[in-house]
Amino acid sequence: MQQFVIEGGMKLSGEVIISGAKNSALPIIAASLLTDKKVVLENVPDLVDVRTMIELIQHLGADVMFDRHVLRIHTPKIKKIDAPYDIVRKMRASYYVLGALLAREKKAKVSLPGGCAIGPRPIDLHIKGLRTMGVNIEIEEGFINAHTRQLSGHEVNIEGPKGTSVGATINVMIAAVQAKGETIISPAACEPEVIDVANFLNAMGFDITGQGTHRINIKGKSSATDVKYSIIPDRIEAGTFATAAAITRSSITIKDCCPDHLTSILGKLEEIGVGVGRGENNIVVNGTRQMHAANIFVATYPGFPTDMQAQFMALLSIVRGTSTIKETIFENRFMQALELMRMGADITIEGNTAVINGVDKLSGAYLMASDLRASAALVLAGLVAKGRTVVRRIYHLDRGYEKFEIKLRRLGASIKRQSE
């Protein structure tokens, strides 16, 4: 295994270029299976999760070329309809092939997914939505066995106890583009990644309207065209680098991003006292020593994203006063708190709420990453901690951040990757 070794206390400066959005790229790659035409995707991040999805679609019959963030996919024929456990266990988003296989082949056998250990993430809403469209589904020996004579358009309600589901919205949307008749997803998730997938499907020649609202309308069509499409920037990577500027009290220009997708993140940084300048496709973040405590309530988009609360916990741990973070999406997403406490942070967990009393400084320590975003939070804490920090199990981070340590070094951080 590999680890990061960080010498804290370095000021950051300069520019960082944001990669394509992982959470758009994965379902879009899966959706390429809908057609026997050629698909060219640009701005595809070179991540472990992306490589895993490529491995999966190749298993299913796709011919793939991936070079310099351009992914070329051609699937003239689906050769297999099973997504095996050995691939799916590496990445939860593998379930997106379910909708694509059902649309094109009317059957699929997909292993129940793996992913980060951040609490239960059932796929019951995916199953509920697909069953509404006429899919017969059984769970047997760890696999979703699904088949249908004909996908039928229907009004699909996939709201769960914690609100709308991004994954279920996307999976149903992918399946519905070739269903007979009209499908309405309500309430649908509104995240930018949902919009991106819908825009990609429209670029293929399908007919989707309402993306970005809680009511998405899909008119089924049987054919698609060749398509060339560029993935949107990764808002979570951009938010992570914005938080890096704040925690190190530095100034960073974040390029090739979409500020409109970062409203809740940037607004919270400004509330804390961080300077934020917005351009058309860039952000300038100016850290300051005069930061204030804040309260964060995690919510579905456009609320504060669950994928940023770990990074903000690291930041708030050195902000004077008492802050709180209420996590409403995942039960076990405070796993970074214990590691931050080993660095000297004062954090108390009360159910789904973290109470953070800011301290003057953090101290370097040996740390164990538990999941993707917790990994990023520990790296951010290491950047500002006194002394040396070692973050182990960084394979979690490699699933979602492209060349993270290289981008940080270019900004002036002292961070290196080495074998444990």
Catalytic residues: 116
Token readout for 132 is 């509404």
Reported as type and span, the H/E element at residue 261 is none
Look at residues 304, 303, 281 and name the one whose alpha carbon lies nearest to residue 232.
281
Q: Where are the alpha helices (DSSP H) in 144-258?
A: 166-176, 192-203, 235-247
How far is residue 113's CA from residue 116's CA, in Å, rounded to a whole number? 10
- Amino acid present at 63: D
Angle between helices 97-105 and 22-31 (to 10 degrees): 20
Three-state secondary-structure class, residue 47: coil
The full DSSP string for 185-206 is: ESSPP--HHHHHHHHHHHHTT-
The sign of the torsion formed by the CA atoms of 217, 212, 185, 90 equals positive
Q: Pairing state of beta strands 216-219 and 182-185?
A: antiparallel
Which residues, including other chains, have CB under 8 Å from residue 147's CB and lie 6 or more apart?
Answer: 102, 106, 107, 108, 135, 136
Three-state secondary-structure class, residue 363: strand
Residue 239 has φ and ψ, to the nearest 5°, of -65, -35
Look at residues 231, 132, 214, 229 and name the one whose alpha carbon lies nearest to residue 176.
132
Give, as one character, the DSSP assignment of residue 390. Answer: E
Three-state secondary-structure class, residue 41: strand
Is there a contact between 242 and 217 (Cβ–Cβ < 8 Å)? no
Token readout for 327 is 């996590």
How far is residue 129's CA from residue 148's CA, in Å, rounded to a whole number? 13
